[in-house]
Amino acid sequence: MAEKVKRPLGPGRILLRVLLLLLAVILLIAAGYFAYLFLSYHRIPDFQTLEITGSGTGILQRDTAYSALSYNIGFGAYTPDFGFFMDGGTESWAWSKESVLQDMDNIIRRLREEDADLMLIQEVDFDATRSYHINERAILEEAFPAYSGAFAVNYDSPFLFYPFTQPHGASRAGMLTLSRFPMGSALRRSLPIEDSVMKFLDLDRCYSVSRIPVEGGGELVLYTLHLSAYTSDGSIATEQLKLLLEDMQFERAKGNWVIGGGDFNKDLLGNSGEVFGVSGEEYTWAQPFPTELLEGTGIRLADTLDPEAPVPSCRNADGPYHDGQFVLVTDGFLLSDNVEFLSGRVLDTDFSYSDHEPVEITFRLK
């Protein structure tokens, strides 16, 4: 019997086999990456005791005016020409290492100018691809050695390989609370987050609870928070707010003074679109703050709006800052009824150092 002669593969079949092999490799890599993503995902444990750093002095007094400032510093990336990919922009990293360091210098200079007694700072990276692994926490703590500090981690993500042109990478970040007065203790409390794939894009949301002794007994219980933004419909931020308010009411019932501040990722005015002339209906995170949750709680929102010259505290970073960009007030403070509100304002920096503006209040402990 004559042997069959194997005919060589034609160019078309060779190309097809190569393409199939390449597709198989890509699928294998993708499957491995998603396995890594899901296996690496974890939530930071609840009820973590936080280390107190620094050396605050003195003691809080009743019937004395003090100031508190909240600032989401946007991991030192959001110069006015910066747009973030999660907001519709194109960038996933800060422009450069030098840009981050310069931005941190400007932020610190602004904080020193205000000289607030309490500072609640969000989006502070300490080891993140997006900010070139600059330890912003250490920079801030070294800039304010006369303050006591407590740092709560709320972002410890595996490497995110998106956007494909410049992957966001791995991120470790948190919230820093600084007090001119000594802190007795500090605690990290976990907040509920979405269970869907959105959890890979959102932070590991939490709030920190810092206890500052008051002359004559009792404590000022200070909450630093950053509620969810990248969610399906914004409802999870409302659930987070409910838990926070329960905690604040518990402390108020004990006779303590309670202040909560930070980035609520809600429209604190309820009508920022009307106030600033740009509608935000398309953004799920920009829902009105649910003021009905405050009824009967003894907790209220501080008023930081100047009706004569309203200043927004946040811009949607879908590109460089420009006229007509959606802006609103998302940053502010909650106060218990035994904290007298004296004044409040959003500091206008024209979004020079972050996609948020600092928000400051003055208050007195009754």
What are the φ/ψ torsions at residue 111 (nearest 5 degrees)?
-65, -40
Q: Which of 2-11, 187-196, 248-257 has the lowest mean pLDDT?
A: 2-11
**Dist. CA 303–CA 84, nearest whole Å:** 29
**Token pair 């460089």 is at which residue?**
320
Please write the tens of the pLDDT for every residue from 178-220: 999 999 999 999 998 876 555 555 678 899 999 999 999 999 9
Q: For residues 89 and 104, give the distance between their C-alpha atoms in angstroms, rounded to a whole number.
A: 22
Whether 184 is covered by a domain: the verdict is: yes
CATH of residue 337:
3.60.10.10
Structural domain contains residue 233: yes
Q: Which of 22-36, 127-141, 300-314 has the lowest mean pLDDT?
A: 22-36
pLDDT of residue 87: 87
pLDDT beyond 70 at 2 = no
State the pLDDT at residue 30: 67
Count of structural domains, the chain = 2
Task: Order across the sheet with 52-54: list the strands.
Answer: 52-54, 148-160, 169-179, 118-125, 65-72, 359-365, 339-346
In the predicted structure, residue 6 carries a pLDDT above the cut 80: no
For 45-59, 211-225, 272-286, 298-312, which range has the lowest pLDDT when averaged over its residues? 272-286
Task: Look at residue 3 and tell me if it is in a domain.
Answer: no
Which pLDDT band holds residue 235 (cuts at 50, 70, 90)? confident
135: number of Cβ within 10 Å: 16
- 39 and 108, same domain (yes or no): no
pLDDT on residue 28: 75
What are the pLDDT digits (tens) for 292-315? Answer: 999 999 999 999 998 889 999 999
Q: Are 178 and 117 in contact (CB under 8 A)?
A: no
Give pLDDT, residue 79: 95
Are 169 and 205 members of one domain? yes
Structural domain boundaries, residue 22: 14-43
Residue 253 belongs to some domain of the structure = yes
**Based on the domain organization, do 283 and 346 belong to the same domain?**
yes
Both 68 and 34 in a single domain? no
**282-291: average pLDDT:** 87
- The per-residue pLDDT of the chain, averaged, comes to 90
Neighbour order of strands in the sheet with 219-226: 48-49, 185-190, 206-213, 219-226, 257-263, 331-336, 299-301
Inside any domain, residue 6: no
Instruction: Note whether 26 and 138 are same-domain residues.
Output: no
**Whether pLDDT at 9 is above 70:** no
Q: Report if residue 114 sits inside a domain.
A: yes
Answer whether 202's CB lies under 8 Å from 171's CB.
no
pTM recorded for the entire structure: 0.89
Please say if the pLDDT value at position 321 is more than 80: yes
Pair 320, 283 in one domain = yes
325: amino acid identity, one letter: Q
What distance in Å separates the CA atoms of residue 229 and residue 218, rounded to the nearest whole number? 34
Residues 128 and 33 both lie in one domain = no
Same domain for 178 and 301, yes or no, is yes
Positive or negative torsion for Cα 273, 278, 283, 285? negative
Better pLDDT: 366 or 197:
366
Both structure tokens of 79: 């110069």
Residues 6+ away with beta carbon under 8 Å from 315: 321, 325, 326, 327, 351, 355
